[in-house]
Amino acid sequence: MSRNPLTAVAISGIGNSGFYPRGTSPDPDFRLVLKALFAACEDAGINPKEIDGLASYCGPVTDPRRIACALGLKELRYASLQWASGGGGTSAAFANAASAIIAGLADVVAVVRSVKMDVGARYGQFGGAYGGGSVETVSGYGFRGADKAPYGVLSSATTLSFQANRLVEDAGVPRSAFSAVSRASYHHAQQNPDALMNGRPLSAERYEESRWIAEPYKLYDCCLENDGAIAAILVSAERAKNLKTKPVHLLAAGETMSFRADSGAFNWPDLCSGAFRDLAPRLYRQAGIGPQDVDVVQVYENFVPGVVMALEEFGFCTYENAGEVLTFENLIAQGGKLPLNTSGGNLAEAYVLGMGHVVEGVRQIRGSSSNQVQDANIVLATAGPLTPMTSALILGSGDVL
């Protein structure tokens, strides 16, 4: 029997609100959140009124007090927000939800996150999604801080491109690896009816001919901008046995921030890192497995070179062999040895701050993915390469406990 305390928890429900191109959702943010929660509860066969815990990340988020009022929850016993930047906190929110159940703080915990972009407010735009109005002064050394914005380092793409250029120029990873990762996501989206890029396949030529954003990022190295919400329901493994769906267990979960990783002007030792260097070995130890045991990998793509860094840090390739390992044929669910982002991920399904990677991991273990990998029992899902704080999960079927 396993002595890993996390395996006492299972993910029993997953659901989404439907995904919409940026700014086109007919629903306001709060309704997207409720729709995702209802869908996840329906999936599990749990009455939404049974939710007694809520976990999320990357604030500001939908206020748990509003959700509890709206659903008429008899008592909300647990509400947590992980302190991540961007999608770095997805897996950590699941870890927090699981911890609450293990500690007896709550019994039915929903993890939920939405993305709703007003028309005109874009991730790439200064004063847009994160700012609001015209910004005339800046101070401090964070995102768009005084060390960055006055020099034109404004967008997420620009800010996170320095590290990627070291991956190309210093570590020698060929651009073909980026193209392969991007095309694999688009390939998977063609089988996934929920994916925003369903019906819009990406050829190697179109990838290569796409415009530069900030070198080495081309257009198709960047995540989507869209509206939508995703939720998941966690319960004890005991309770999960009696619910509608096949339980999916957490084998390992954790978050990480390495030495000085948020210091101004990129003053931490290794920029050629997706920020999983410390976490990866810890997760494998906790799960009692190694990279060779992982059947499917879901890696958060804000920008594709970060995916390559995450794959290297989790032991799926080295920078020396990345060009040979990361090929289109090898990354697709249909016969690839390293099936990656099998729903289309942030690039081609929808960008809901990494929630899509976890719920696709759940589908793979249930056997219900639109790009099903045969006998998928162990899935790695990572959140937020290149962000100062990142997190990751290893999911497993009951067969591997």
Partner 1 sequence: MTTSETYLPDVLPVPLPMDDGMDKPHWDGLNAEKLIVQRCGHCHTWIWGPEHVCYNCLAWDPDWVETEPKGRIYAWTRVHTPGMDALKPVTPYICVIVELPQAGNIRLIGNLLGPGTQDVKIGEEVVGQFEHHSKGGYDYTLLQWRKA
Give residues in contact with partner 1 (CB under 8 A): 124-126, 128, 135-141, 146-155, 157-158, 161-163, 165-166, 169-170, 211-215, 260, 263-267, 271
Q: Whose Cβ is closer to partner 1: residue 148's or residue 187's?
A: 148
First to last CA, the chain: 7
Shortest CB 122 distance to partner 1, Å: 8
**300 classed as catalytic:** yes
**220 classed as catalytic:** no
Name the CA dihedral angle for 57, 58, 60, 66, rounded to a multiple of 10 degrees. -10
Please tell me which residue in 57, 217, 220, 351 is annotated as part of the active site: 351
Shortest CB 340 distance to partner 1, Å: 25
Q: Whose Cβ is closer to partner 1: residue 134's or residue 374's?
A: 134
Q: Whose Cβ is closer to partner 1: residue 120's or residue 290's?
A: 120
Shortest CB 382 distance to partner 1, Å: 23
Among candidate residues 181, 218, 227, 246, the one with its CA nearest the CA of residue 45: 246
E strand or H helix at 64, and its extent? helix 64-70
Q: Whose Cβ is closer to partner 1: residue 121's or residue 243's?
A: 121
Please tell me which residue in 123, 151, 300, 319 is annotated as part of the active site: 300
Name the CA dihedral angle for 340, 341, 344, 348, rounded to a multiple of 10 degrees. -100
Among candidate residues 373, 343, 348, the one with its CA nearest the CA of residue 358: 343
SS (H, E, C) 318-375: CCCCHHHHCCHHHHCCCCCCCCECCCCHHHHCCCCCCHHHHHHHHHHHHCCCCCCCCC
Helix, strand or coil, per DSSP, at residue 35: helix
The backbone torsions φ and ψ at residue 114, rounded to the nearest 5 degrees and listed phi first, read -125, 160
Q: Whose Cβ is closer to partner 1: residue 165's or residue 176's?
A: 165
Helix, strand or coil, per DSSP, at residue 50: helix
Among candidate residues 102, 141, 74, the one with its CA nearest the CA of residue 6: 102
Contact present, 379 and 298 (Cβ < 8 Å): yes
Among candidate residues 107, 30, 97, the one with its CA nearest the CA of residue 70: 30
Q: Whose Cβ is closer to partner 1: residue 206's or residue 246's?
A: 206
Just list the catalytic residues. 300, 351
